[in-house]
């Protein structure tokens, strides 16, 4: 968990000014002690100045956002693509370089439609099936 300047894509997605500060949260998701995904998300630091502290204390983005006044949020969009795992990604996920990864790029908004979280997750194709229903 760190603070840095938003990339162009992040600023555009969060509808914040270019070079605005964001909280950058990244990690590895596990299932049955097996690494299944690498994730990273960004949140506007100006809107949520204490978010990093809450995430560290609560170990939950949802609970941290509640502490910041966002009681519920909506997944506004999710884009799915396939990519080959880099050596670093493969090492973290305990797979081979170039193994398939499912990549989701997503945007969450508050109830009024204001973007609150932009993120990307790389799921191990070996361990994860994504299922979407209407």
Write the CATH number for 28: 3.40.1410.10
Q: Count of domains in the chain?
A: 1
Q: Give a yes or no: residue 70 inside a domain.
A: yes
Q: Average pLDDT of 33-47? A: 98
Mean pLDDT of the chain: 96
What are 62-109's pLDDT values in tens digits?
A: 999 999 999 999 999 999 999 999 999 999 999 999 999 999 999 999
Q: Annotate 65-76 with b (16+ C-beta within 10 A) or e (fewer).
A: bebbebeebeeb
Q: What is the pLDDT of residue 24?
A: 98
Structure tokens at 36: 């299944």
Q: Give a yes or no: residue 131 inside a domain.
A: no
Q: Give a yes or no: residue 134 inside a domain.
A: no
């Amino acid at each position: 968990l760190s603070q840095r300047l938003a990339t162009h894509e992040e600023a555009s997605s969060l509808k914040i000014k270019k070079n605005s500060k964001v909280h950058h949260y990244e990690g590895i998701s596990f299932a049955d002690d097996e690494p299944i995904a690498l994730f990273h998300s960004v949140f506007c630091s100006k809107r949520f100045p204490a978010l990093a502290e809450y995430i560290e204390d609560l170990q939950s983005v949802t609970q941290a956002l509640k502490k910041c006044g966002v009681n519920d949020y909506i997944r506004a969009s999710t884009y799915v693509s396939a990519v080959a795992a880099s050596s670093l990604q493969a090492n973290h996920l305990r797979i081979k370089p170039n193994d398939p990864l499912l990549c989701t790029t997503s945007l969450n908004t508050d109830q009024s439609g204001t973007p609150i979280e932009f993120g990307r997750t790389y799921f191990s194709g070996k361990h994860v099936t994504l299922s979407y229903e209407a």
